[in-house]
Each structure stands twice: as structure tokens, then as C-alpha cells.
Copies of this chain bind each other. A is one copy, B any other.
């Protein structure tokens, strides 16, 4: 931790800061600069971030610069080799394969989900996605089929053999969802719902954590840390677009987050070009782009009849478009030294 003093800080102010540093169990180290002093505080500041904050409110202090990273279990400094997370006996994520998760935004009917599952399986997808509990911006929109939807997902798994990923929206229903799902999904709007993060941290199932719309990469890793600190190390991170001033796309898919995350953490990273762009016509280009950037997986919305979808129609691919995407994706995966 580095404390930058104001240029006119008094001797007494400096002494009080030094006293407070010692009181907190750190060793102070003063550097006398040309216009101001800078104090290094040596010690393990992880989990004591509050210390940093409070010193900033002392007289004579200009700013406080944390040095240590706030996350630990998620950090590559602590675990250097990439984590490979087992989804089923024959499928894992984080290795050489780019795992493709595809399916509708929401489970709407048995016909719809089975038809989609068969189609995406045939096109080469590895995991079936589909929401049973749907967090929707409007209270007047379709909120999902709930447990009935989970049962249909299980049926689709039985038919196709595809493992399923589906969203958990509150701690209360987490165990229920975990009975059916192979991967639990934490949605964007719940990315800092800490009660929910703690809960899925206690369940023994892989969790895919989506980045919040205005979440920094550091904060995403802190949310992963919440899950991991409860005992669940099987966390998959998902870049799904951040909110910016640009409105041509629904969000701005931050693909540079992929190499940044790959440098910071050992956890697998997935991209969601469907939510990232919001328009089906951009999904293929962004899927290839994400593969080239180094993702371990892709999450893509596919619907047999996008015009009649109950949600996210405009960003859903038809099975035909998805099949075309998969055959081109193979080329980009190969260029990246990966398989699909």
C-alpha cells in the first residue's frame, strides 16, 4: 500500500499517518520526494482493504494506492496453471477444446426445446442452454416456465446427451436448479448479488458467472472470489458485453477482456456474442472474433423460430445459421490451435 501525502502536509499529519499504519500492523517506509512525501506500508493488505480506505480520510493525505490484488483464489499469482473444469465425464472446459453452449434464451415448450436441442447437437454444440427462471427488465414480460422448464431441459438432455446450463435467480431456488443443471449460470444483473454468489459457492456444480454490465474486470474477479471462498473452485467467467455510449449494438462486447483475464486468472473464459451484440446478424463475426481472442467457450442463442421467441428474438440464430457458424468457427479454432 502506498500513501501519497499532500504537498503541504505538516509534520504532525505525517506522524499521525505513520502511527495509524503501525496500529494496523504494517511497517511504514517513508520516501521524501521533491514536492511531497510518499509512504509505503509493508504487510499483507488483502482482506484489509478497508484500511486503505480509511487512511484516505486522514488529514494531509492526498490519495492511497493499493498494490496487492484484492482477489486471491481467482488469481494466477496463486495458481499458475489454467484450471480445467469438468462438466461431464467426457466434457471439460479450460483445455484445448472451445466449448460451445447453444440454445434458446428461454424454455418455452417441449417441442421448442427438444427441437432446438437436437438441432444444436447436430450442428456440433456441446452444451444446451435455456432459461427456466428468467430475470426480465419488465414485470409484464414472460418470467419463465420455472420448474416445468427445468424438467423439459432434463428431457432434452436425455434425448440428446447434451449437458445443460441454466440460470439461478435467487438463493431460495438454487438447490432446485442444481438438481437439474450441469452448469449453474449467474446472470449479468446478479453478478454482484453477493447472497446468491455465496449460495452457489456452497453447491458442488460448475458455475458460469456473467460479467455485470458496468463491472470492471477486477470486480468480476472479486465476484468469482465470493464463489470460490465458499468452497466452489469450478467457476467459468463470461464476457457478455458492457454498457457504453454506443447504441448500434445492445452492449459493447469487450473482447480485450479475454487476454486481460487470461493474464490475471487461471479460470476459463467464455464469450456471449448474442447478448454482447443484441443482433443476430453480428453473432457469427463476434463468435469468430472471440475464438481468435482466446476464449475457452462460446454461448450462443439459437431458436427454431426467432420471430416468435418469447425473449431475445432479435439476437437468436436459426438452427440453419448456427450450423453455418459452426462450420466456419472450426477454421478459426484451428487457427488458434484449438478444437471445437
Residues of A within 8 A of B (CB): 2, 4, 7, 20, 29, 31-36, 38, 40, 42-44, 46-50, 53-58, 65, 67-68, 70-71, 77, 135-142, 169-172, 189-190, 192-196, 198, 212-214, 216-219, 222, 225-226, 229-230, 242-249, 252-260, 262-263, 276-277, 280-282, 285-286, 288-294, 306-314, 316, 328, 331-332, 334-336
Q: Report the nearest B residue to A249, measured CB to CB.
A: B256
Q: In the complex, are the beta carbons of A256 and B276 less than 8 A apart? A: yes
Which of chain B's residues have a CB closer than 8 A to the CB of A135?
Answer: 192-195
> In the complex, A83 Cα to B61 Cα: how many Å?
25
Nearest CB of chain B from residue A137's CB, rounded to whole Å? 5
Nearest CB of chain B from residue A299's CB, rounded to whole Å? 16
Q: In the complex, are the beta carbons of B244 and A260 less than 8 A apart? A: no
Which of chain B's residues have a CB closer than 8 A to the CB of A334?
Answer: 331, 335
Q: In the complex, are the beta carbons of B289 and A290 less than 8 A apart? A: yes
Which of chain B's residues have a CB closer than 8 A to the CB of A292?
Answer: 285, 288-289, 291-292, 332
Q: In the complex, are the beta carbons of B281 and A288 less than 8 A apart? A: no
Q: In the complex, are the beta carbons of A314 and B53 less than 8 A apart? A: yes
Which of chain B's residues have a CB closer than 8 A to the CB of A4?
Answer: 67
With a 10 A CB-CB cut-off, give which of A56, A225, A262, A312 has the most chain B CB atoms: A56
Q: In the complex, are the beta carbons of A169 and B194 less than 8 A apart? A: yes
> In the complex, A311 Cα to B50 Cα: how many Å?
6
Nearest CB of chain B from residue A214's CB, rounded to whole Å? 3
> In the complex, A223 Cα to B213 Cα: how many Å?
16
Q: In the complex, are the beta carbons of B257 and A255 less than 8 A apart? A: no
Q: In the complex, are the beta carbons of B138 and A47 less than 8 A apart? A: yes
Nearest CB of chain B from residue A147's CB, rounded to whole Å? 15
Q: In the complex, are the beta carbons of B216 and A246 less than 8 A apart? A: yes
Known interface pairs A170-B193, A255-B289, A286-B293; 16 further A-B residue pairs with C-beta atoms within 8 A, sorted by A's residue number: A35-B77, A38-B40, A38-B67, A46-B140, A47-B140, A53-B311, A139-B222, A169-B195, A217-B248, A242-B245, A242-B246, A248-B256, A256-B282, A262-B285, A289-B292, A331-B335
